[in-house]
């Protein structure tokens, strides 16, 4: 972990971003006190988790959910997925383990093939 003053971070922002992505967080100080932390974005799951961890709306939602569960409301995860599959069918996405990524569909299935347009076909289409 590296500690640098704000003036240096401003002057060398691009290099700091590269270093944070490869070597870890950089603490940025203002007047000798920690003012910010520069982190490499990592993958999408890491970034999403970081943003949600600092979101007041999401934290309030979690607090309400925890209170609800503590009051005996809610249902076990297995029951939730059983009901979801009963209501929406077997195509209901199943939960994945934290940190895992969903499988990607083959490119040809996800993106239709482009039709090659030749000069001859362009002229024919213009008529």
Rounded to two decimals, the pTM is 0.47
pLDDT digits (tens, 9 = 90+) for 6-56: 999 999 999 999 999 899 899 999 999 999 999 888 766 778 888 888 899
Residue 50 in contact with residue 39, Cβ under 8 Å? Answer: yes
CATH number of 1-43: 3.40.1620.10
Residues of the chain with CATH 3.40.1620.10: 1-43
Cα diameter, the chain:
72
């Amino acid at each position: 972990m590296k500690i640098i003053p704000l003036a240096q971070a401003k002057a060398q922002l691009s290099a700091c971003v590269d270093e944070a992505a490869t070597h870890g967080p950089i603490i940025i100080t203002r007047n000798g006190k920690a003012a910010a932390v520069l982190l490499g974005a990592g993958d999408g799951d890491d970034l999403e988790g970081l943003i949600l961890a600092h979101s007041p709306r999401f934290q309030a939602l979690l607090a309400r959910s925890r209170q609800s569960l503590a009051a005996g409301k809610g249902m076990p995860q297995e029951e939730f997925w059983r009901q979801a599959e009963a209501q929406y069918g077997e195509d209901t996405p199943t939960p994945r383990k934290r940190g895992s990524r969903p499988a990607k569909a083959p490119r040809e299935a996800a993106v239709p093939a482009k039709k090659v347009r030749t000069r001859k076909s362009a002229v024919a289409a213009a008529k």
